[in-house]
Amino acid sequence: MKPVYLLPFFVLCLLFSCKEEEKPPVEQIVEVIEPEPTIKYGFNFDEFTVINDTIKNGESFGIIMDRFHVDYPKINQIATTIKDTFDVRRVRAGKPYTILASKDSLEKAQFFIYKHNKVDATIIDFKDSLVNAYTYKKPIKIKEREVSGKIVYNFSEAIDTLGLRPGLASEVADIYAWTVDFYRLQKDDTFKIIFEEKFINDTVSVGYGKIKAAVFNHNGRDLYAYRYVADSIKQIPEYYDNEAGLLRRQFLKSPIKFQYRVSSRYNLRRKIALYGRVRAHKGTDFAAKLGTPIMTTASGTVVESARRGGNGNYVKVRHNGTYSTQYLHMKRRKVRVGEFVQQGDIIGWVGMTGNTSGPHVCYRFWKNGRQVDPFREKLPSAKPMEDNLKPKYFEFIQPLKQQLDSIPLPIISVIQEEIIAKN
């Protein structure tokens, strides 16, 4: 009988021993993720000792190189070899630079990266016996942006409150220089702008590109501007309005972009308080801060650039056989006799030379050899768009106008207006 009772026990032990039999180990695969290399200016920065610094006052290229173990014969070789590409004597204090040095205890410099701005740099390669210098431009991505604003104090302030750089205000002022007096903008005038902004690494703004379209509502009128290339040969873009009218005129309204006031107008019977007698004032005075740039209001040739008597430092430009302009009381002149200047070029800076009680430019305007008031003259326009080009232009601006009209205007509270006005 004993074998009968022991049999189930034996079978159970056999079953358990089978279940507990060791299985083959499962192979585990561990994926090792290599870190992305740090690629800048075309180099793998991980392969170098990287030194970022800024050129200090009194520092030269040679001093910097010597500090990073480059001997003077090598420095002289670098300066001589690359002088046609980059003059090492022109490195300026305040400019940032990067040195890529050997990744050892000596940390000897091998590459010098001089950063002109956020986009452009000059790279000097002296790692080996051969020396080379070349320019590098960071990849730029262009994004289209839309903004709208309302005038509370002036146009510059309105652009500033939108978090935009002054350069955009300057560009827009150039577009409307012939149609809008930015000194006379009124409170509650509005504007909308479609423009391009340039970015590096998708996030760092490095300036603005084309202004594609804009509209100013001034004195109850919508003043549209569209960037368009009408001349397929010259490929020069101009700005036109809704009717294909060219915004540019032969003469600018003012020799100063904005941030000025007209302190005295053309007046043949002006009474000078100091002398108590009538003395003709045959110019228009634009008061502005000392050093404000003065532009020529039209293209032409400089026929006078001198300092003389009550005029102080002045420049006179002949535009054609009919018109000439003169700019008085400059702090400093920029142009010489015989030089050709384009409309909008800087020819000097606002000053107080000659007979003047405050900083301003006296703008004088000649027509057929006689001084006249430019604000009362019907001045010629630039060449208009040809009729056969207009249908294509109207087709081009239609979506831009719809885009401008759909941009909402900002709502500015009374409290915001008070804060802006105080600042």
CATH of the domain at 221: 3.10.450.350
**Is there a single domain that holds both residue 282 and residue 338?**
yes
Residue of higher predicted confidence among 140 and 249: 140
| Mean pLDDT on 255-264 | 77
Quote the tokens at residue 362: 């006296």
CATH of the domain at 307: 2.70.70.10
The separation between the first and the last C-alpha atoms of the chain, rounded to the nearest angstrom, is 112
CB 84 within 8 A of CB 36: no
**Residue 389: inside a domain:** yes
Q: Report pLDDT for 310.
A: 87
**Residue 4: inside a domain:** no
**Is there a single domain that holds both residue 99 and residue 244?**
no
CB 235 within 8 A of CB 423: no
CA 186 to chain centre: 26
Q: Report pLDDT for 306.
A: 94
**Is there a single domain that holds both residue 188 and residue 243?**
yes
- Strand, helix or coil for residue 172: helix
Residue 34 predicted with pLDDT over 90:
no
CB under 8 Å to 370, separation ≥6 — which residues? none
Residue 317 predicted with pLDDT over 50:
yes
Residue 1 predicted with pLDDT over 50:
no
- Over the chain, what is the mean pLDDT? 85
| Mean pLDDT on 280-304 | 89
Give the span between the Cα atoms of 20 and 7, in whole angstroms. Answer: 20
**Residue 127: inside a domain:** yes
**Is there a single domain that holds both residue 316 and residue 388?**
no
Q: Report pLDDT for 180.
A: 77
Question: pLDDT band at residue 156, thresholds of 50, 70 and 90?
Answer: confident
| Mean pLDDT on 94-114 | 95
When mean pLDDT is compared over 21-25, 242-246, 378-382, 395-399, the highest value belongs to: 395-399
**Is there a single domain that holds both residue 184 and residue 154?**
yes
Question: pLDDT band at residue 235, thresholds of 50, 70 and 90?
Answer: confident
Point out the domain boundary residue: 116, 137, 158.
137
- Closest to 53 measured CA to CA, from 42, 44, 64, 41: 64
Strand extents, DSSP E, 102-189? 109-115, 120-125, 132-137, 141-150
**Is there a single domain that holds both residue 309 and residue 286?**
yes
Residue 105 predicted with pLDDT over 50:
yes
**Residue 185: inside a domain:** yes
In total, how many domains does the chain have? 3
**Residue 293: inside a domain:** yes
**Residue 294: inside a domain:** yes
Range in 75-79, 367-371, 409-413 the model is least confident about: 409-413
Point out the domain boundary residue: 82, 103, 137.
137
Residue of higher predicted confidence among 18 and 30: 30
**Is there a single domain that holds both residue 187 and residue 267?**
no
Give the span between the Cα atoms of 251 and 100, in whole angstroms. Answer: 52
**Is there a single domain that holds both residue 223 and residue 282?**
no
Residue 197 predicted with pLDDT over 70:
yes
**Is there a single domain that holds both residue 324 and residue 390?**
no
Residue 274 predicted with pLDDT over 90:
no
CA 6 to chain centre: 99
Cα angle, residue 302 at apex, residues 299 and 306 outer, rounded to 5°: 140
**Is there a single domain that holds both residue 110 and residue 147?**
no
**Residue 175: inside a domain:** yes
Give the span between the Cα atoms of 7 and 9, in whole angstroms. Answer: 5
Neighbours of 1 (CB within 10 A): 5
Point out the domain boundary residue: 339, 357, 376.
376
Full residue range of the structural domain in which residue 327 is found: 261-376
- Closest to 348 measured CA to CA, from 327, 317, 321, 374: 327
Q: Report pLDDT for 12.
A: 47
> Which amino acid appears at position 384 of this protein?
P
**Residue 206: inside a domain:** yes
Residue of higher predicted confidence among 214 and 368: 214
**Is there a single domain that holds both residue 162 and residue 245?**
yes
**Is there a single domain that holds both residue 237 and residue 279?**
no
Give the span between the Cα atoms of 243 and 241, in whole angstroms. Answer: 5
